[in-house]
Amino acid sequence: MHRTTELLAAVLVIFSAPSVFAQSDIWDGLARTTFDIAASTLRIPCAVLEDGTGMAIPGFAPAFALNLELVGDALRLVEPIQTFEEIPESCLDTLVVDGNIAIYLTESAESDSNAAQNTNRFYTIKLQATIPPDGPIDFAVLTAEDRLYIRPTFEGSNFELDAGIGSYPREFVYDDALLDEALRLMLLGITVFEPGNLEIQCDFDDPLALLEVVGSVGDNTQFRIKLSLTAADNGKKFAIKCTAFNRDINRLELNIPSVEWTTTLP
């Protein structure tokens, strides 16, 4: 990437001066880029910094939290700015700096309005700025499109079983075979309306600590009902819950109790 001395100095001031830009928690609680209506500011909780070839830029933090304030017809980069020494898994957006051109891209922006027309409405935005030797950096809107997002739905059976008697006696081992079957049923029952990076997984949910570890085979941890449980614990429950998390918008979409066991001890 070509950089003149003036551009390098400007970018250093923008992205690498903690004494200039105070750290702030104004992005706390933001799962994705959000337009703060009251402040007329696009709050960007995380954007990965890349050069024009998609590579990291040596000497710069790999990701940043930014603020773009609406000033006239432009979105102006303003303080505070926050650096990330490691790219968070939740980082959704990209900031490309190539020569003296900066391009910001997001596919998951939203408005902080609670108006019904904005519920589940997401925006794909592309902004571009020419980085001057000094002075403010103003981004112009190249493209902006909105879409109404439809959450995934699930249709399937939730199974209620007894633990401690019958098919699931006290000695029964609960392990990945059950999780794999729950995941199979989850995949059969889920309907996704918008293609994306949907992460689906199933795990044991045991808030009352009714299970204990009895061993492991590789990554397969095996459980059974605690030997200390008695009939006084009957009616307590543990389960397998399957979740669907959309990495494209950083949102938990579904949390389904696939199988639920109720302790029934003699």
pLDDT-based confidence at residue 266 (cuts at 50, 70, 90): confident
14 band by pLDDT with thresholds 50, 70 and 90: very low
Return the structure tokens found at 122: 């997401």
188 φ/ψ sector (left φ>0, alpha ψ -120 to 50, else beta): alpha
Give the model's pLDDT for residue 4: 31
The confidence score (pLDDT) of residue 108 equals 93
Calpha distance 115→178 (Å, rounded)? 43
**Average pLDDT for residues 166-192, to the nearest whole number?**
95
d(CA 263, CA 266): 10
Q: For residue range 132-174, what is the model confidence (pLDDT) as tens digits?
A: 988 899 999 999 998 889 999 999 988 999 999 989 999 999 9
Cα pseudo-dihedral 252, 254, 259, 261, rounded to 10: 60
Domain edges within the chain: 5-148, 153-263
> What type of residue is 265?
L
